[in-house]
Amino acid sequence: MTNKELADLIFPNVTKTIEDYEKIYPKRDLPEGAVVSRFAPSPTGFVHMGSLRSAFIAKKVPKDTNGVFFLRIEDTDGARTVENGIQGIIDDLKNFDITIDEGVISQEEQIGSYGPYIQSERKEIYETFAKYLIEQGLAYPCFCSAEEIDEIRKMQELNKERIGYYGSYAKCRFLTNEERAERIKRGDPYIIRLKSPGDFNKKIVLNDLVRGKIEFPENDLDIVIIKSDGLPLYHFAHLVDDHLMRTTHVIRGDEWISSTPVHLQLFQVFGFEPPKYAHLGTVMKVDENGTRRKLSKRKDPEAAVSYYHQKGIPVEAVNLYLMTIANTNFEAWWDQNPTLGIDDFKFDFKKMSVSGSLFDLEKLLNISKTYISRLAATEVYNRLLVWAKEYDSEFASILEKYKDYTISILNIEREQKKPRKDYESFSTIKNYIWYMYDEYFTGDLEYQFGKIQDSEEISRILKTYIEKYYDYNDDKETWFNKVKELSKELGYCTDMKEYRANPDNYPGSVADISTVIRVATTTSSMTPDLFEILRLLGKDRIQKRFEKFIK
RNA sequence: GGUCUGUUGGUGAAGGGGUUUAACACAUCACCCUCUCAAGGUGACAUUCACGGGUCCGAAUCCCGUACAGACUACCA
C-alpha cells in the first residue's frame, strides 16, 4: 500500500492541495521591511497584563513598519474555550486601543483576506497539510492509547532516559501501511504524528530577536499534529496558519521558546521559510512571601486588563507604562520628547529586557498621574464623565448637572508650568473633589481640624473672617493679605519663618488660621489652593458651611 | 531526569574588558520652597553587579563550575 493510498484513506474528503492554498493566500504585497505580526490567544475570556504586553508589541512593530497586525483565535482545545471568550478578548483589546488590521472583530465577524482567523474554522486546511505529510511519508497514524504512552513515560523515567515519543519508543512509526489501513478500517482510534527527521545529537540554531543566538538539540520527538478530534495541535496550527497568513514575525511569550525547535523543524519539512521569532520575558510580580512569580490572573486583580478600565486609568497611561517596560530606552526618550507620543517612538527588540520584568503598579500609577495632569480640564471632565457613566451613575448625573463648575474645579492648579498631580485615575477624582458639591456635603461629616481644636476659637476665627474680611471679588493676593490681617488681629503669627523660629511666642500661625477655614469649608486639611476653592464655592455656600461652627 | 533561559539597590533598569567614585526613572528618607496637601528644587540611598574559581596589567562585562529562579518536557495553548 502506498503512502498516497493511506493518505486518501485517512483524509478522503480533502480535495485541495497545498498549492491551491498558496494561491488563495498569496504573498502579501507590502513595502520592504514591513512586519506582519499577530496576537493569537485562546478564547479563555480575559486578557492578562502579560498578554496585553505581547499584543501591544505585536501591534507596535507592524505599525512602525507599515505592516499588518491581525488577531487570530486559537480555539483548538475545547476544554479551554470559555463562553463569550472571544468577545472578552475583543473588548479588552478595544479598551486598550489595540486595533487590528485583520482578524476577528466580533463573535460573528472577521475582516481580512487571509482568514478564517478562527482555528476551528480552518480544519480543512490543516487536513490538507497533514495529508501531504502522510503522502510524503513524513507523518503517520498512531494508535497508542493514553495508557500506553503513560507506560512508555514511566519506563523512560525508570531508565533515566529522555521522556517522549521518539526513536524505538515510537512504536507506531514502524507499522506497515497495510497494518495501519487495517486498524483504521477496524475503527481503532488514532491520531496523526509527525515522523520527525531530527537527530537529538545535532544542533539547531534559533536567532531570537530578543535573546540572540540560542542553540538547541534538534527535535526528534514524533509530535502529535492532529488530535483524535480532528483538530490540530498548537505546533501544527502555528505552522499552517503563520505560513498561510504570511506572518513575518512571531512575537510571543517565552514559554514557547522550548518548542521553537519543533516549529523550525516543521517549517523545514515543508520547505517554507520560517518567520522571525521574538520571545518576550514573562511579566512577574513579587508574592506576599517575597518571591517572584508569574503575574497570575487568578491571584492578582491587577493582572486582568479589565481592572484598569474599571479603575479609570487612562489607556494612554497603561500603554505608556507598557512601552517603558517594553523598551528600556523609551522613558528617557519620552522625557526628552514630552510632546511626542508612543507612535513617534520606534520600537526595538534589542532594547528589550531579556529576563521577565516585575510589574510595578506604583510606577504605572505615577505615569497615570503625570498623564492626567497634562490633560486639559475639559478633557479630564469628558473622560471622567465617560468613566462615571459606566461605574458611578450618581456621580455622573452630578457631573452633568454642574458641567462648567466641575471643569473649573478640575482646572485648579492645572494651567501652570508644573500642573498639580492629584489624580491617578478617574475613579479617585471623586475622593478629591466631593466636597465641592452640596449633594455630597450633607449629613454627619467628619472634620479633621489641625492645631486649633477649641470650638470657641474656631467660631471666633470663622465669624471674624466672614463678617470682616471675606470679599468674593478679591484677587488671590488681596485674599491672602486679608487672611494675614485676620491672623494678626487674633494674635497669630503671619510670618512663617518667624513662627518656625519662635513657635512658643504665638498661639499659632496664619497656617493654622487657613487650616480652620479650609477644614470648615471642605472637612479636610489637605486640599488644593484654598483661594480657588473659596472662589468656586461662593459666599452663600461658605457662609452656610461656617454656620455649623459659629456660635 | 532532560532541554533551554535568566540572576546588577526596595523596584524598572543602563552599561557587553579600562574617563562608572555602576547612568536614568519610580519608591523611600532629609532639607528647601510654602497657608495645608500635591507639585517643584537640593541632597541621601549598590565600596559593588547571585556565589566560587579562571583568563587578563585590568572583569559587572570573557570562560568554567555551583546555587537559585523560570519555562518547556500533553491528543493545552
Q: What tens digit of pLDDT does each residue of A363-410 get?
A: 788 888 888 888 889 999 999 999 999 999 999 999 999 999 999 999
Per CA to C1' distance, which residue is closest to B76? A77
A145 touches strand B (CB under 7 A): yes
In three-state secondary structure terms, A83 is coil
Residues 73-102 of A with CB under 7 A from strand B: 74, 76-77, 79-80
CATH 2.40.50.100 fits A3-13+123-280, yes or no: no
What pTM, to 2 d.p., does this model score? 0.85
pLDDT beneath 70: ranges in chain A: 284-299, 355-358
For chain A, the C-alpha Rg in angstroms (whole number) is 33
| Alpha-carbon A447 to chain mean position | 40
Give the pLDDT score at A22. 96
Per CA to C1' distance, which residue is closest to B6? A355
A58 touches strand B (CB under 7 A): no
Nearest to A73 by CA among A49, A98, A97, A109: A109
A448 touches strand B (CB under 7 A): no
Buried b (16+ CB within 10 A) or exposed e, A155-172: ebeeeeeeebbbeebbeb
Give the pLDDT score at A426. 93
Please tell me the distance from the alpha carbon of residue A350 to that of residue A40, in angstroms, as a whole number: 23
* CATH number of this structure's domain A455-547: 1.10.10.350
In chain B, which nucleotides are within 7 Å of a protein Cβ? 1-8, 11-15, 23-27, 33-40, 69-77
Domain ranges in chain A with CATH number 3.40.50.620: 3-13+123-280
Give the pLDDT score at A223. 94
Give the pLDDT score at A109. 92
Residues 204-233 of A with CB under 7 A from strand B: 211, 214-217, 224, 227-229, 231, 233
Please tell me the distance from the alpha carbon of residue A147 to that of residue A218, in angstroms, as a whole number: 27
Output the CA torsion A365→A371→A375→A381 (10° steps). -20
Instruction: Work out the percent of chain A whose per-residue pLDDT is above 90.
Output: 46
User: CA at A152, C1' at B1: how many angstroms apart?
Assistant: 15
Please tell me the distance from the alpha carbon of residue A105 to that of residue A35, in angstroms, as a whole number: 21
DSSP-based helix, strand, coil % in chain A, nearest 5? 50, 10, 40
Give the pLDDT score at A220. 93
Per CA to C1' distance, which residue is closest to B24? A332
Domain ranges in chain A with CATH number 1.10.10.350: 455-547
